[in-house]
Structures are given as C-alpha cells and as structure tokens.
Chains A and B, each alone.
Chain A
Amino acid sequence: MTDKIHLEILNRRDFVLGASAVAALATVVPLGGNRALAKSVSWQETMKAVIGDAKPAAGKVSVELPEIAENGRTVPFTVSADSAMSSGDYVKAMHVFSTGNPRPHTISMYFTPGSGKASATSRMRLGKTQDVVCVAEMSDGKFYMGKRTVKVTIGGCGG
C-alpha cells in the first residue's frame, strides 16, 4: 500500500520534474504482484513497453484537450509536433497515453513525409480526471513529449 501511495505522489511530481523523473519511475513500478499488473498497468511501464528506454525531452509536442470533459466516453483530442516533415526530418510516430486509465496506451499514430503535417485528431475514453501524455518519435531517433491535464466529470471506461 505504501508503495502505491509513493507512486501516486511521484506521479504528480513528475509533472514538474519532466522526463528525467519518468525514467526513474520506470524502475519503481512492480507493485501489487502480477495479478494487479494484469488488470491495470502504470502508464510509465506502458510507455517503456512502447518506446523502450528512450527518455523523451519536454517540448515540441502539443496536446489539445478540453479543460473539462463532461462525458469521459468521448473526449476529443489533437496531438501535434513541430517538424518540417521533410524526407530527412519528420515525425515517425506519436504515442498517446492516458495516465489514469486502467490501460493507458490509447493510440499510436505513424506518419511519413507524405503526411505533410505531424498532427492528428481523434476521440478518447477517460475514466477520471488525469493527464494525457503524447510522446513523439522523430526520424533522427529523438523523443519529445507533451502533456495536458483534463478534468473529467463522468468517467467513460466502464459500462
């Protein structure tokens, strides 16, 4: 239990500390045994499974979400990254994580120079008030991340 509280505090704090904290957190994860992990996974662990040991730097990525989502079942969001989208310098992928959902990985989107613009819009389910994180993978192998807090009035994960 203490582990859990510890993690939650860190969760909040890494908002300030940024990417370095994310890397540190990835090692704190195993708590509550395998059964708990199967049910819901921390977003840090999910992110690690997706992007490996890369440490995304803050910046370049913007996450647009309503400040308050009345209905968590369908929350529109737009993610975009600064990039020339030329053949030598473009955004390869953008991964979106909902930090407070039982399954944080929401969507991974893959771009090419033919996309013209590293920006996409979709709609997500949000179970409760939380941060939404987007990590962009550039063609040169660098990672950047952006974050946005959204208040959810009615959660949208269950029935």
Chain B
Amino acid sequence: MAKPRVKVPKTAKAGEIIKIKTLIAHKMETGNRKNKKTGKLIPRKIIQDFQAKFNGKEVFRANLHPGISANPYLAFHAKVDKSGEFEFTWTEDTGKKWSAKKSITVG
C-alpha cells in the first residue's frame, strides 16, 4: 500500500542548506474510526516514525501521531558539506518498514 516518494536536489554547493520533500502513501488509520456496518473500532495503523540520514548520520527524525493526515508528507532541510547518500526510513506501528535512498553531488 505504502510507497515512498522523495525529492532531493541532484546537486548542491558545499555548505548549502537544501530542502527535502517526502511523501508516503498510507491511510494513517487513527484508531478512532468505527466500521459503519459492524460498529467496531477500526484498529490504529499509522506510520509512527520517520528518519532521514545523510552518510549514515541522522539529520531529521519525526514521531508521527494519528493527528497527521493520510499519506503523510514531510518537508525539512539538510546542510550538505560533501557528496553522499540520503537514506529515509518510515516505520509503521506494526513494525513494517519502508525505505528510500537518494544521492547528491556536492561541488
């Protein structure tokens, strides 16, 4: 169901602060909604953790709660001093993970 999309600039100058945009298709089931036919609560199932690393070092992390909309979008910044690779990881509360990688050339 979930498939991450990430936008990272392909190139940057050394020391530049770049903007990163991420989106993952996910229902973000709050656990507050009821099944209209059975009246039972639909169990909570959300992306609860997001992490962005650059060359293995964390640059941004977020703990998401049910108040975040479906298909969670996150945009943030990173300062890049040298070329390298970004790694993004989304974790569902079930433990299921998704990840994406993007390279950037600095020079």
Contact = CB atoms under 8 A, between A and B. Distances in A.
Main SS class of interface, A: mixed
Contact of A107 (B30, B58, B65): B65
A107 B69 CA distance: 11
B72 interface: yes
A78 B49 CA distance: 18
A148 B54 CA distance: 32
Given A123-B68, A125-B69, A158 B75 contact: no
Interface in B34-53: 34, 36
Contacts of B69: 73-75, 122-125, 156
Main SS class of interface, B: strand
Interface residues of A, number: 33
A107 B73 CA distance: 12
Contacts of A124: 67-69
B96 interface: no
Contact of B77 (A101, A117, A158): A117
Chain A CB within 10 A, most for which of B17, B69, B75: B69
Interface stretch (A13-21, A57-65, A108-116, A134-142): A108-116
A122 B68 contact: yes
Interface in A2-46: none
A157 interface: yes
B38 to A, nearest CB: 13
Chain A CB within 10 A, most for which of B36, B54, B61, B62: B62
Given A74-B69, A157-B32, A114 B63 contact: no
B59 interface: yes
Contact of A114 (B32, B67, B78): B78
Contact of A121 (B33, B36, B75): B75
B62 A110 contact: yes
A112 B58 contact: yes
A149 interface: no
Interface of A: 73-75, 85, 98, 101-117, 119-125, 156-159
9 contacts: A109-B61, A111-B60, A120-B75, A121-B74, A121-B76, A122-B72, A125-B66, A125-B67, A158-B33
